Structure 1
Amino acid sequence: MLRVKVKIRCKECGERFVLRGRKERGVIETGFKQCVCDNRNSFDIEEDV
């Protein structure tokens, strides 16, 4: 398990979030569920280097 910084951008309203998550076997888990605009599905997620 590796702790990583993750950038999440909502594709619907453009809101941005920076979170810490866990990366295990190439999969990043942050616990992020939904944007403030109630979007639950459409996000750009990238690992911050």
Structure 2
Amino acid sequence: MTGETRYRVIVRCPKCGERYILRGRNNEKGELETGFKQCICGNESNLHIDATPE
């Protein structure tokens, strides 16, 4: 085990109601990195993100 904390990330789009469940880790800048770019409806900025440690 590397000691890095993994997070369970739930991304919700208020525009279309879609929900994504992902796993992520903190990058060097302390930001949560999952690889998620945009919702299927094209929404990139107005997303609700909830992260909990695994």
Whether TM exceeds 0.5 here: the answer is yes
Q: Per-residue deviation at 1:3?
A: 1.0
Q: What pairs with 1:1-49 in structure 2 (closer than 5 Å)? A: 1-24=4-27, 27-48=31-52
TM-score w.r.t. length of structure 1: 0.81
SS, match of residue 43 in structure 2 = coil
Structure with the higher strand share, 1 or 2: 1
Larger radius of gyration: 2
Structure 2 residues without counterparts, runs of 5 or longer: none
TM-score w.r.t. length of structure 2: 0.74
* Runs of 4+ with >4 A deviation: none
Note the aligned Cα RMSD (angstroms): 1.7
| Equivalent pairs, count | 49
The separation in 2 between residues aligned to 1:30 and 1:11, in whole angstroms, is 19
Structure 1 residues without counterparts, runs of 5 or longer: none
The separation in 2 between residues aligned to 1:5 and 1:43, in whole angstroms, is 16
The separation in 2 between residues aligned to 1:26 and 1:47, in whole angstroms, is 14
